[in-house]
Every structure is written in C-alpha cells, then in structure tokens.
Amino acid sequence: MVAKRIIPCLDVKDGRTVKGINFVGLKDVGDAVELGRKYAAEGADELVYLDISATLDGRRTFTELVSRIAAGIDIPFTVGGGISSLEDAARLLDAGADKISINSAALRNPDLIGQIASHYGSQFVVVAIDAKCIDGTWHATTHGGTVPTDKELFSWAREAQERGAGEILFTSMNHDGTRSGYPCDTFAALADTLSIPIIASGGAGSVTDIADVLTEGKADAALAASIFHYGEIPIPVLKRELVKQNINVRI
Amino acid sequence: MIAIVDYDAGNIRSVVNALERLGVKDYVVTSDAEVIRSADKVLMPGVGDASYAMANLKARGLEGVIPELRQPVLGICVGLQLLCSSSEEGNIRCLGIFEENVVRFRSDDPAVKIPHMGWNSISDLKSPLFKGISEGAFVYFVHSFHAVEGPDSIAVSDHGGRFSAALHKDNFYGVQFHPEKSGPVGAMILKNFIEL
C-alpha cells in the first residue's frame, strides 16, 4: 500500500524561507535548500515551497531558488505562489519542480488546469483550494480566505479533477491557524467525491489531529508549517506515533 | 562514461541532478546513437505518455539501437515501460526486451487511487541493483500504468495488486519508481547500477 505522506510547507520571500527558528545545527535557517534538506533527512516525504514574494524581482529569485532546490534535494517537491499561466508552469518545470500548485489563478481561469495537465501531465498539477464554511456551505475563497467565490468546494474539486488536476490540496480557512484539528467529516466527504489524492492542510496542532485526518478524514497526505518549523512536533516523532497507530508511513 | 538518453520524454534534469549528487562527473545527455553505443552505462529516463515516448525514441532512430546494447542499461519509469513487450497506453508495441506487458492499474477499491503516486514499499528484491537495500524499503512512484509481475521481475510492489517495481534481463534493468527522487534508498540503487 502506498504510504500516507507528511509534507512540510516552507514559505519563501525574495528567495529566503521566512519561518523556521528552532533548528539546532542549521547554519542558515533562511536557506531554503538547507532547510529542505534537513526536513528530507528527518523523513519528510515531499516538500512544498510557497513563493510569497510580492515583486517581480522576488519571483525571478524564486525560479533560481527552484533550480538550487532541485539540485540539492532528493525527494519530490511542489512549488506554488503566483503561478497564473502555462509559461509560469513551464519555467518552474524547467527549473526542476516536480509539481506546481495553483489556487486563485485556477479559480479565475479554470482552463489553466487542463492546459498545464495536457502539456506536462496530471501528476504535475496540484489544485489548492482554500475553502470557508459559510452558513453550512463550503465556498472556495481567494486572498487568504477573505474573499469568498461562487465556487462550492465539492463541485469545484470535482471540476478540477475532471480538468486534469492530479491532487487536491484542501485548506479549511475556518481551521487554518487555529491548531484545533481538521474538519475530518468534510475531508472524508471530499475523499468519497474524488478519485485523486487529497492533501490536508491547515489546523494541525497535535499528532492526534494529523492521525485523525489521515484515518477518519481519509486524506492521503498532511501538510503543515508551524508545527514543524518551530520544532513542536519533529517529523521523526510524528512518524513514530503514526506507526504506533497502525498508519502506513515511510520510516 | 554514462549516457543519459535524451528523447524528449521528461525528467532528464532530475536524473542529472541525482548523478551530480553522487559525485558522478563523467556523463553525457545525448540522442546520438554512436555516443550511446560507446558509453559504459546507459540511463533511459522518462515520464509522461508511453506512446508519445516510444514515438520520440523512433523519431531519433533509437528503437533499433537500444535493444542491441551490451553494456548495462537502466530504464526509469516510462523508460522501463519502453523496454517491455507492449503497453496499453496507446496500445503500442515496445522494445520487447522484457517479456512482461504494461497495463493500466485497475481497481474497484476507491482507496486505490490512480495515478499511483507517493512512497510505496518494494519487496522480493533479487538483483545486485538492490545491494544494501532492505526488503520493504520505500521508494517514490508516479504512474498510472505498470508492468505485470513476471519472470523478469526483480522487485515487486503492491497497489491494489502486485506489479513489477523492477525488471531485469541480461544487461537490461528497469525500475518503475524514481530512484532520483527516492532519497538515500534511491541514491543507493543508482549507485549500485553505476557500479555494476
């Protein structure tokens, strides 16, 4: 059986990672390659690098960084942030990214999913959905969850799959940053709707939260940032605990 | 010298990066038949559609060159599939080194997702390619088609049923997973191949 995946997410601004304060033995926690290598050595199954640069210069620096990541890291990695065209995707593929993640651009222009998938394969395209539950309905949102769209989570995820997405990265904006756990019933319903893998993001505060979303929530992977960056739950500890709960992870 | 066959079928760069990480300097990315024939080892990477990859191989006049090679050859992912007898992807005849056929994953179990993407364990390891690798070691897969289990299998994995994770016949080897993305285990497998 394919193992459940644990994926640290690193935010990158102007070519430097912006979180990650508690690592002993790292010369430069801002160095995205070194931090990624550290996570890989600890047992991360994949990495996600999210470009949060606001400037064109920042974006250019990110592409150069992607080349260095590809050269230095021996596990798969996804890049996201600001990808809005086939050309953006091609540039990052050429730099060595294994997958790209698209979010707002896919909402604005759903054809983009199919364009990228038909050129580079579905395995290259992750569609990220930041959804917020408003009066019982999950709306896909933009701008960090502040702007709801008319796309409903389940139908949008199905549409993304039909258009060629290889994975769905779902973040509940009601739970993101709360550390109160994931909405497992929503994740499970989403898994029943889709045939492609689901990455759960946003809300993990404990090992139990992650275990729950991988079992009850039927997610294929769990992505997190702060619990790893601040060393609260080291990946080896997390994986050992998941193994104890009979969850199939790579050790 | 290691020749990496360039036939416009994907992840050349990942394979080059992996060789660089192993400290290998003596390699060339090429579609030149003479260069490929004279190499000590040949790597044939590949991602994407097998019928597209096979067409690209033919367009470069390499479909007759590869089967005649006598040095160790390693096909990766679609590279392995092209060394098989046939593929259901586009219903094509492949190079016919391995007698196994390539078929689509079929499962009625919704928990068995396709593409098979992520880390899975390999077992029944029987080849110097897996020297130092433990039974049950995890490697990284991304694929929707797979070679069936058969006499040439030297490793199997399971995704809604057993399939060939690696094949070997004479001087030809193939791995369905991506050693270049499989951490230290993958690096060891590549190193083993280089040292064959």
196 residues of chain B, pLDDT tens digit each: 999 999 987 778 899 999 999 999 999 999 999 999 999 999 999 887 899 899 999 999 999 999 999 999 999 999 999 999 999 999 999 999 999 999 999 888 887 888 899 999 999 999 999 999 999 999 999 999 999 999 999 999 999 999 999 999 999 999 999 999 999 999 999 999 999 9
Q: How many domains does chain B have?
A: 1
Mode of pairing for the β-strands spanning A137-142 and A147-152: antiparallel
Helix (H, G, I), strand (E, B) or coil at A204: coil
Say if residues B41 and B81 touch (Cβ distance below 8 Å). no
Cα–Cα distance between B82 and B180 in angstroms, integer? 19
Scanning every residue of chain A, which has its alpha carbon at the shortest distance from the alpha carbon of B184? A74
* Residue B61: CATH number of its domain: 3.40.50.880
User: CB-based contact (8 Å) between A250 and chain B?
Assistant: yes
Residue ranges covered by each domain of chain A: 5-244
Across the interface, do A74 and B13 touch by the CB < 8 Å criterion? no
Across the interface, do B113 and A220 touch by the CB < 8 Å criterion? yes
In DSSP terms, A17 is beta-bridged to: A12
Per the residue annotation, which of A31, A45, A130, A209 is the catalytic one? A130
Say if residues B24 and B2 touch (Cβ distance below 8 Å). yes
Say if residues A236 and A8 touch (Cβ distance below 8 Å). no
Nearest-Å Rg of the Cα atoms of chain A is: 17
Say if residues A198 and A204 touch (Cβ distance below 8 Å). no
The distance of B107 to chain A (nearest Cα, Å) reads 11
Alpha-carbon torsion (A174, A177, A181, A184), positive or negative? positive
Best CA proximity match to B41, nearest among B75, B10, B7: B75
Say if residues A74 and B181 touch (Cβ distance below 8 Å). yes
Across the interface, do B110 and A122 touch by the CB < 8 Å criterion? no
Active site residue A57: no
Cα–Cα distance between A15 and A17 in angstroms, integer? 7
Per the residue annotation, which of B63, B143, B180, B195 is the catalytic one? B180
Q: Note the pLDDT of residue A15.
A: 81
The beta-carbon contacts of A105-108 under 8 Å, at least 24 apart in sequence, are A106/A160, A107/A140, A107/A142, A107/A149, A107/A151, A107/A156, A108/A84
Best CA proximity match to B190, nearest among B8, B1, B5, B16: B16
φ and ψ at residue A121, rounded to 5 degrees? 95, 150
Say if residues A36 and A68 touch (Cβ distance below 8 Å). no
251 residues of chain A, pLDDT tens digit each: 899 999 999 988 888 887 655 455 565 668 899 999 999 999 999 999 999 877 777 778 899 999 999 999 999 999 999 899 999 999 999 899 999 999 999 999 999 999 999 888 889 999 999 999 999 999 999 987 889 999 999 999 999 999 999 999 999 999 888 888 999 999 999 999 999 999 999 888 999 999 999 999 999 999 998 888 888 899 999 999 999 999 999 98
Across the interface, do A75 and B181 touch by the CB < 8 Å criterion? yes
Scanning every residue of chain A, which has its alpha carbon at the shortest distance from the alpha carbon of B120? A2
Question: Which residue range forms the structural domain that includes residue B162?
Answer: 2-194
Active site residue B77: yes
Q: Which residues of B fall below an 8 Å CB-CB distance to A?
A: 13-14, 17-18, 20-21, 47-49, 110-111, 113-121, 138, 140-142, 158-159, 178, 180-184, 186-187
End-to-end alpha-carbon separation of chain A, Å? 14
Q: Note the pLDDT of residue B154.
A: 98
Report domain A5-244's class: alpha beta
Report CA-CA distances (Å) from A49 to A69, A76, B57, B103. 10, 11, 34, 34
Cα–Cα distance between A202 and B82 in angstroms, integer? 41
User: Measured between CB atoms, which of A5, A74, A218 is closest to B18?
Assistant: A74
Per the structure block, which two tokens stand in for A110? 């759903």
Label residue A164 left, alpha or beta by phi (over 0 means left) and psi (-120 to 50 means alpha): left
**Which chain B residues touch A98 with a CB distance below 8 Å?**
14, 181
Cα–Cα distance between B6 and B56 in angstroms, integer? 10
Q: Note the pLDDT of residue A229.
A: 83
Report CA-CA distances (Å) from B132 to B50, B86, B174. 31, 32, 18
Q: Note the pLDDT of residue A23.
A: 53
Q: Note the pLDDT of residue A56.
A: 76
The distance of A197 to chain B (nearest Cα, Å) reads 7
